[in-house]
Structure 1
Amino acid sequence: MLWTCINLSHLAMDGMLRRRPTTGPLVLVDGPVNARTIVSANESAQAAGLHVGQRLSAAQALLSKFEAIPYERESVDRWHRFLAAVAYRYSSEVSLLPHAIVLEVSRSMGLFGPWPRLDAMLRADFAGLGFRHRLAAAPTAHAAQVLATVSDGQAVLSVDALRHALQRVPLAKSSLPANAIAALPGMGIRNLGQVLALPRDGLRRRFGTELLDALDRLIGDRPSGLELYRPPDTFDLRIELLHEVENQSALIFPLRRMADDLAAYLAGRDGGVQRFLLRLEHREGCYTDVPVGLLAPQREGAMLFEFARGRLEHVVLPEPVLALHLIARELPAFVPAGRDLFDERPANALPIGQLRERLRARLGDRAVYRLGSTTDPRPERAQAVAECGGVHDEPSPRPTWLLAHPIPLRGASPRILAGPERLETGWWDGAEACRDYYVVETSPGQRAWAFCPPGEQGGWMLHGWFA
């Protein structure tokens, strides 16, 4: 087995910076009101001398102007689970650890390529989402966690090399039980290599089985005992804005980020989204819903953003917006569109599906639609606007382009390509029709749909055109 650990020691600050981008000093504080302590600080705050573990009062004495925000455990847990859902794209065995995510990737490399390529793909995904991270790989999940804490990029790909890699890991970063980390330095033990060399009977008498179990999980002599994570079946993301927004243009940046997050989540599930809701939250619990419906499941971030923005542009804000809430409960399977190997379309040409969705987002639902069949056989009544997401009908010998009313077909007699299709119906409502329809080719080479009286091949009436 091969496990990779994604260390997220800056998760709380990175999650806050996605919502509140700033270049000034910013810290997250936690603890009692009269004894607030810094638990995270951005680069500007660190450059000014502020650090983790420092009392807020001491930081205020050192620096007069900086922003202090309460640490939100619920928000950190939400980002933690979201990133685990992103990592689920690469493995079905994903687990959550404190400030880290571990996933088993030995089988994944058969799909994504060798470890260096998989490492680069994981880094690109997490960096693109704005989360700092460190990666390490090892034959056990706990060893990967320890190595990611010590350094970034270390990859131990065999069990034989694992003990050597763990030799110089300091006890403080070993993830061993706290009582052992506190007591072992008094015995002259400073690193994991020294602990692993000690007699197991002595360790059991001194620390019980907890320390031995931790060591066995570390080197792979005992199962990891981790609970596997499964992404939820719905996507729910809420972003509070920095101030009240009265103009739609100020919502574009957070909307783009939310669309990218939704796309990353869908890639992790290997699924798509066909309908989602963008909720604009106002004062006193009021809100404005902006539904976004697609004709087919999609999961590309740029497309989802463009569709949502197109809908948002048609909304008149009744009140200032305080927060954005994106909810996607219907997440159907997604099948990427195929493309011919020798496709001669320009590189920037849009597939018909994307063009259709873009037009609907910009012009409205009724501007672009798909036709479906009815139970009435008369051509002028045989088509109706199909419901969004409906099943496509089988190809029909009848043309899609019908004239409003049949007109005489002028010129030389056409060449018959197919037919006749006898139509004798409508007697029940007074609009009786009795015709023989043919697929014909006109003298200029156009492909048309025309009819004449039953049993005759003259007096042609043109009723439609084929593309």
Structure 2
Amino acid sequence: MALFLYLHFPSLQLDNLQLSAENSQNLAIAVVDQQHQLLQLNQSAINAGLKLQMGLASAAALCPDLQLLPYQSEQQLKVLNSAAQQLYQLSGDIALDPPAGLILRLDGMLQLYSGLAPYWQALSAKLHELAYRYQYSCGATPYAAKCLAYQQAALITNDAKRLSAALHASPLTATELTAPLQQQMARLGIHTLGQLLALPPAELARRFDSQLLSYLGRLRGDYYHALEYVQPESGFSRYLELLYDISDSAVLARPLVKLLQQLEQQLSRASCQCHQLLLTLFFRDNPKLQLCIGSAQGEYKAAAWLQLCQLQLQNLTLPEPVYGLQLDVNRFAGQQRPTEGLFAQQQASMSALQLLSLLQARLGRAAVSGLTLQNQHLPEQASQRSLPLVKGYVVKGQAGLAALALRPAFLLPKPQPLTEAVTISQGPERLCPDGWQLGAQRDYYIGRNRQGQWLWLFRTASQQWFVHGWFS
């Protein structure tokens, strides 16, 4: 027998908004539709006596401090899809039922979890992590599970008789029948689904339109109900609208943690990591701002990515308060564990690539570079800036290594005339003119001044002395 589970999230948009703000449970908040009726309520608003479908005038009289938010169907659909992606690791067949429902087919998962009870235990633990309020019930068909879930039946069973009895006892107000049709049924003395299903289909077809028969057929499972199951995302994209605008860039790290934790769960589930995040900040009157945060080594943990994001956010000047965040990752990579020495006495707290990522996040990518040797005898061209941690040209042979040992750590951009007394300790090393790089002969020496500093000097053919660098 086919078995379905319906999850209904009655306050999905509001619950998602409250994830981005601390201490928001103390505020009475409601989401209103275009008819200015209360559509979603948080617990504080419910405690104040507010009811769904209540008008704004009555709501303001009961709760003068009520905070109102407009209903956004597109935003709620994104949150619903995000919830489906997070539940996908536990259930392979999940279909969206907008605006606030998920349909899960269970008969293919019971063998994997060795029964319905272990499956529900794992799924309910994941739903607790999502922190969204939800109503649920099993059913033999998607429509039956949805009808029972809207009544908060909370039936987790595959007993066909029990599910059928609960469905037949359901009031018509829990169905998807239109309000005029429910009133017409009430005038006929029909108040439950059992009474309606007991009527002959021919009589129903004669008195009512085909939509009623179609709904009852799908409710019983007489007609095939095609479901479009969601597929796992190849990347990661999450949007989080803030409950209130944030003007301090450092405070943005708090709601960002929620998105990074969702990213970590998806990366961990796929045994992957990522090397780059795209963080988008949304403003009301200014164009959106995109920040590219990279990790040279690749990370999957939320704590590591949060540290890199905070380094960029703390020096960021916002043109105006931020009302929304979006986190995107286009490409995943397989996790690679760094190898460590078996007999190493000390273990480094971070790898070289992790240190590089922190420096780039704090100073910017252009400010961090490496230094590689070039096959040039002229000192000004013997080294150049390169990508960090990239091995460059290495001079081979003992003579080449000896020559490298005589090069200073600090080379002046332009040689300066020698203006103090020095004591020569080593040299000379002659560089002859080549006609296109070095115009005159130079004899290089290593000397020490009276302050104890080691200088790299050269003398020209005209006996003029210059300082070209300093040894560390």
The TM-score with structure 2 as length reference comes to 0.66
TM-aligned CA distance change 1:268 to 1:217, over 3 Å:
farther
Pairing 1:265-304 to 2, within 5 Å after superposition: 273-281=274-282, 284-286=285-287, 288-295=289-296, 298-304=299-305
The alpha carbon displacement at 1:277 in A equals 1.1
Please say if 1:29 is aligned against 2:44. no
TM-aligned CA distance change 1:11 to 1:404, over 3 Å:
farther
Please say if 1:56 is aligned against 2:56. yes
Question: Aligned equivalents of 2:349 and 2:193: distance in 1?
Answer: 57
TM-aligned CA distance change 1:327 to 1:66, over 3 Å:
closer
Structure 2 letter corresponding to 1:72: Q
Aligned residues: 386
Please say if 1:252 is aligned against 2:250. no
Q: Percent identity?
A: 22
Match of 1:145 in 2: 146
Pairing 1:192-207 to 2, within 5 Å after superposition: 192-207=193-208
Match of 1:75 in 2: 75
Structure 1 letter corresponding to 2:294: G
Structure 2 letter corresponding to 1:220: G
Contact 1:88 1:268 in 2 (8 A): no
TM-aligned CA distance change 1:249 to 1:167, over 3 Å:
same
The alpha carbon displacement at 1:9 in A equals 1.0
The alpha carbon displacement at 1:292 in A equals 1.7
Task: Give 3-state SS (helix, strand or coil) of 2:7's partner.
Answer: strand
The alpha carbon displacement at 1:124 in A equals 2.8
Task: Give 3-state SS (helix, strand or coil) of 1:317's partner.
Answer: coil
Among candidates 234, 242, 245, match of residue 244 of structure 2: 242
Question: Aligned equivalents of 1:209 and 1:174: distance in 2?
Answer: 16
TM-aligned CA distance change 1:280 to 1:202, over 3 Å:
closer
The alpha carbon displacement at 1:100 in A equals 0.9
Task: Give 3-state SS (helix, strand or coil) of 1:216's partner.
Answer: helix
Match of 1:172 in 2: 173
Structure 1 letter corresponding to 2:241: I
TM-aligned CA distance change 1:336 to 1:210, over 3 Å:
farther
Question: Aligned equivalents of 1:364 and 1:321: distance in 2?
Answer: 24
Contact 1:200 1:212 in 2 (8 A): yes
The alpha carbon displacement at 1:331 in A equals 3.2
Match of 1:87 in 2: 87
Structure 1 letter corresponding to 2:44: S
Task: Give 3-state SS (helix, strand or coil) of 2:26's partner.
Answer: coil
Deviates more, 1:191-200 or 1:172-181: 172-181
Pairing 1:362-441 to 2, within 5 Å after superposition: none
Structure 2 letter corresponding to 1:199: P
Match of 1:15 in 2: 16
Question: Aligned equivalents of 1:125 and 1:404: distance in 2?
Answer: 63
The alpha carbon displacement at 1:80 in A equals 1.9
Please say if 1:102 is aligned against 2:108. no
The alpha carbon displacement at 1:287 in A equals 5.2
Structure 2 letter corresponding to 1:187: L
Match of 2:125 in 1: 124
Question: Aligned equivalents of 1:251 and 1:24: distance in 2?
Answer: 21
- What do residues 86-110 of structure 1 show as CA deviations (whole Å, max 9, x unaligned)? 2333334322224211122333344
The alpha carbon displacement at 1:235 in A equals 0.9
TM-aligned CA distance change 1:101 to 1:253, over 3 Å:
same
Please say if 1:47 is aligned against 2:47. yes
TM-aligned CA distance change 1:156 to 1:223, over 3 Å:
farther
Contact 2:296 2:357 in 1 (8 A): no
Match of 2:188 in 1: 187
Deviates more, 1:315-324 or 1:145-154: 315-324
Structure 1 letter corresponding to 2:31: L
Question: Aligned equivalents of 2:149 and 2:353: distance in 1?
Answer: 41
Task: Give 3-state SS (helix, strand or coil) of 2:207's partner.
Answer: helix
Structure 1 letter corresponding to 2:62: L
Contact 1:129 1:261 in 2 (8 A): no
Contact 1:306 1:358 in 2 (8 A): no
Question: Aligned equivalents of 1:115 and 1:353: distance in 2?
Answer: 48
Match of 1:162 in 2: 163
Match of 2:428 in 1: none
Contact 1:277 1:327 in 2 (8 A): yes
Contact 1:9 1:133 in 2 (8 A): yes
Task: Give 3-state SS (helix, strand or coil) of 2:10's partner.
Answer: coil
Contact 2:249 2:318 in 1 (8 A): no
Match of 2:325 in 1: 325
Contact 1:86 1:267 in 2 (8 A): no
Question: Aligned equivalents of 1:363 and 1:404: distance in 2?
Answer: 37
TM-aligned CA distance change 1:52 to 1:114, over 3 Å:
same
TM-aligned CA distance change 1:212 to 1:281, over 3 Å:
closer
Contact 1:280 1:321 in 2 (8 A): no
For structure 1, the 5+ residue unaligned runs are 340-348, 389-402, 408-467
Question: Aligned equivalents of 2:100 and 2:198: distance in 1?
Answer: 29
Match of 1:308 in 2: 309
Contact 1:135 1:148 in 2 (8 A): yes
The alpha carbon displacement at 1:54 in A equals 1.7
Question: Aligned equivalents of 1:267 and 1:182: distance in 2?
Answer: 52
Structure 2 letter corresponding to 1:24: L
Question: Aligned equivalents of 1:179 and 1:269: distance in 2?
Answer: 49
Task: Give 3-state SS (helix, strand or coil) of 1:292's partner.
Answer: strand
Question: Aligned equivalents of 1:353 and 1:82: distance in 2?
Answer: 35
The alpha carbon displacement at 1:231 in A equals 5.6
Question: Aligned equivalents of 1:404 and 1:104: distance in 2?
Answer: 73
Question: Aligned equivalents of 2:282 and 2:210: distance in 1?
Answer: 53
Question: Aligned equivalents of 1:305 and 1:213: distance in 2?
Answer: 51
Contact 1:85 1:268 in 2 (8 A): no
Question: Aligned equivalents of 1:131 and 1:305: distance in 2?
Answer: 24
Contact 1:39 1:52 in 2 (8 A): yes
The alpha carbon displacement at 1:362 in A equals 7.2
Q: What is the CA RMSD across the aligned residues, in angstroms?
A: 4.7
Contact 2:6 2:137 in 1 (8 A): yes
Question: Aligned equivalents of 1:102 and 1:268: distance in 2?
Answer: 22
Larger Rg: 2
Question: Aligned equivalents of 1:143 and 1:323: distance in 2?
Answer: 39
TM-aligned CA distance change 1:310 to 1:157, over 3 Å:
farther
The alpha carbon displacement at 1:56 in A equals 0.8
Contact 2:282 2:324 in 1 (8 A): yes
The alpha carbon displacement at 1:404 in A equals 9.6
